[in-house]
Structures are given as C-alpha cells and as structure tokens.
Copies of this chain bind each other. A is one copy, B any other.
Amino acid sequence: MDLSKRIDRAMTNAITQAQGAGDAAPGRLAAALNYAVTPGGARIRPTICLSVARACGDDRPALSDRAATALELIHCASLVHDDLPAFDDADFRRGKPTVHLAFSEPLAVLTGDSLIIAAFDTLAGADDADALRALRLVRLLARHTGMPHGICAGQGWESEAKVDLGAYHRSKTAALFVAATQMGALAAGHEPEPWEELGARIGEAFQVADDLRDALYSEADLGKPAGQDAMHQRPSAVEEYGVQGAIKHLQDILSGAIASIPSCPGEGQLAQLVRLYAERMTPVAPARV
C-alpha cells in the first residue's frame, strides 16, 4: 500500500477512536479533533517515519503505522496550541479558520490536549507481543515532545530573555523530525540512535525552508499568516544569512542529510526521498500579478 494511504487510514482510525464512535462523547470537541487534523496536506513527519521503517524492513507495519500516526497527532496538537491568541494569535491554518476561531478557545486548548493524549494512546494500542518496542516508542515520542528537549521546550525558549539558539532550533523544529526517523527505525526493530543525524538535518532543512517561505511568500500563498518571524522578532535563517545564503545553506544541509543515512536495506530509496524533499523545499518566490 502506498504510504499516504497507510497514513490516511491510520489517522482516520485514531481520530475515530478518540471521537468515541457511538458512545456518549462531547460532540463539538469530537468535531474539533477531526477539524484540527484535516485536510492532511503533506503529512511530512509520518511519511519520513514510514519511509525509514520501510528502509529498515518494516517487519511490524501496524506498529510503524502507529508510530507515524502518533507523530502527526502531536504535530497537529502543537499547531492548534501555537495558533492560540496567547501565542501566534493566528486566524488561518490549512487555508481555513484556526480551531479557536472555528470552535472556541477552551475547545482549542482541549483539542490540543486530547490530540497529545491520543498520540500516546495510539502507541499504547500496540499488540501485547510488541510491548517492549511500543514502550520504547512512547519514550522516544515523549523525549522529543515535552520538556526539557522536545517541542514544548522549543516553544518555552520563546519566553526566555536569553535564548540558547542551538537548543531552541533543536527542540522547536528538529525534535519531531528526529522522532520521525528514530521512531521509524525502532518500529521496524532497528536501534534508533544512528538515525538521529538524518532527522536533525531534515528538521534543520525544514526550519530554513520555513524561514524562507515566511520571508518570501504572502498569506494567500501559505494559507497561514506570513512575515511572522520578523513580526515576533524570532531568530530566522533569512535574517542570519540573507535569502541566497539561506538557500545555499538549505542545500548543504540536505546533502549532509543524505550522507548521514545509516546502512540499511532501503538506503538508496531513502536518499531519493530526501532529494525529492530538497527539490520541493527550495523556494522560488511566487510571481506577482
């Protein structure tokens, strides 16, 4: 089955379970859960996770699907909370009103909380026979999501007067990409540590690409507010290197990512996937009419 179909099916299963099909559950919060994860878009993190799992033999596809889904649920949760008035106060996401505008602020907080919990629940639903691998997946997901080094820590740095820029970038964006490569490997029974560098480099590349898009594109192009880094005075690769310098930096990072792929049965295919992302990520300023 093609990866995007696997991801769609697994995401639908997870959301349907969280909505409590048939059982008494609060209907608006149930609707908000689905709203927050659709339309799916590129599903980049779960695609990387499953690609690494496949490169490693994917001997437990159901467990890989759970790992990929857990990652995407966490990613969606982080977007819902980041969009809140207290953070980015964003009006649009995925080309439609953000969850707190479409539902309410309390429901947006609860949607984020529920998606975080659904992520761990998804991993915990693994077969008893896979308990040890699943528990190690829970460890990896928690490490890359919470404090002190996960995406919560990344957001937390934005409340500090003095920012450790390395730690900020590692946790804010790279963490979930490292989780993606490591969890993909672990779900397929490989040790996760050798996969850290690939995830970190892809994550760094996405951060640079995001900085470029934020600087070059308009809100209409992005389907979300543009110019946020400058407005919130956030550190950005464009501010540091300029546009051309940032594009060159992006290409260097992706070359390093390919070079870092650990030896595994599907090494070549994985390198091709990273090359594909590299092409897609390198931004061309859209023509203006």
Contact = CB atoms under 8 A, between A and B. Distances in A.
A261 to B, nearest CB: 27
Contact of A18 (B20, B26, B121, B147): B147
B135 A33 contact: no
A285 B261 CA distance: 68
B164 A24 contact: yes
A143 B24 CA distance: 14
Contact of A110 (B128, B134, B152): B152
Interface stretch (A39-47, A153-161, A237-245): A153-161
A131 B149 CA distance: 24
A78 B77 CA distance: 16
Interface string A142-171: 110111111011011111100010110000
Nearest to A126: B135
Given A19-B147, A109-B112, A110-B152, 16 more contacts: A24-B148, A24-B164, A24-B167, A25-B153, A25-B167, A106-B155, A107-B156, A109-B109, A113-B146, A114-B146, A116-B116, A117-B142, A121-B142, A124-B139, A131-B132, A132-B132
Interface of A: 18-20, 23-30, 33, 77, 81, 84, 86-87, 103-107, 109-110, 112-114, 116-118, 120-121, 123-126, 128, 131-132, 134-136, 138-139, 141-143, 145-150, 152-153, 155-160, 164, 166-167
